[in-house]
């Protein structure tokens, strides 16, 4: 089982066997469409809505990055809000990253976001933000400074920090540095 713990809760959960996976900053943007253009690329990043035919490559890449099979979660997110399921490819069609989003009871949630670098991650998040005129949450990994800086420039504020934790043996994250934002706590 996974959970997201506040700093005080982390101490409690560690005593009963939970171990930290990574630290997260939950950021929120009130309904404010101001977005800083984060793209610095020469057009080599191509964004498009995820099609069913894209899923095999996404699921394989996601297993390498996360060390887990999240295929059912990713399929669910695409079915729930296909317009917020975005992938990035280069000019040779190499997969560079993907982002999902969904409407929640209080705000939209962007995540998970997985990308080969911060430029791709920011492009994916920016693409989805341009469609949203409501409050937005994003659970950005605390280690992803470039994304966090860009989000703050785009009028996001930190709502709270927390730690994603796992009971028992820690999941071996394959390439954790490619995870920029987590799925919301209800999705793990």
The pLDDT value given to residue 27: 95
Query: Would you say 142 and 22 are in contact if contact means Cβ atoms under 8 Å apart?
Result: yes
Cα separation, 47 vs 16, in Å, equals 43
Query: Please, which residues bridge with residue 140 across strands?
Result: 25, 181
Q: How far is CA 78 from CA 93, 109, 124, 125, in A?
A: 20, 13, 15, 15
Cα separation, 49 vs 39, in Å, equals 18
Average pLDDT in the chain: 88
In this prediction, residue 108 has a pLDDT band, given cuts at 50, 70 and 90, of very high
């Amino acid at each position: 089982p996974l959970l997201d713990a506040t700093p005080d809760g982390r101490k409690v959960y560690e005593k009963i066997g939970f171990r930290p996976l990574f630290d997260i900053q939950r950021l929120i943007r009130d309904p404010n469409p101001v977005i800083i253009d984060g793209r610095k690329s020469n057009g080599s990043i191509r964004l498009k809505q995820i099609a069913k035919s894209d899923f095999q490559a996404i699921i394989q890449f996601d297993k390498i990055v996360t060390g887990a099979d999240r295929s059912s979660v990713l399929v669910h997110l695409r079915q729930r809000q296909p317009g917020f399921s975005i992938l990035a490819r280069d000019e040779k069609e190499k997969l560079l990253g993907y982002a999902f989003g969904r409407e929640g009871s209080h705000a939209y949630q962007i995540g998970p976001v997985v990308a080969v670098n911060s430029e791709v991650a920011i492009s994916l998040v920016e693409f989805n933000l341009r469609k949203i005129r409501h409050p937005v949450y994003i659970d950005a990994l605390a280690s992803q400074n470039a994304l966090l800086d860009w989000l703050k420039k785009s009028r996001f504020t930190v709502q709270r920090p927390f730690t994603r934790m796992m009971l028992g043996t820690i999941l071996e994250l394959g390439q954790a540095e490619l995870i920029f934002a987590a799925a919301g706590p209800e999705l793990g």
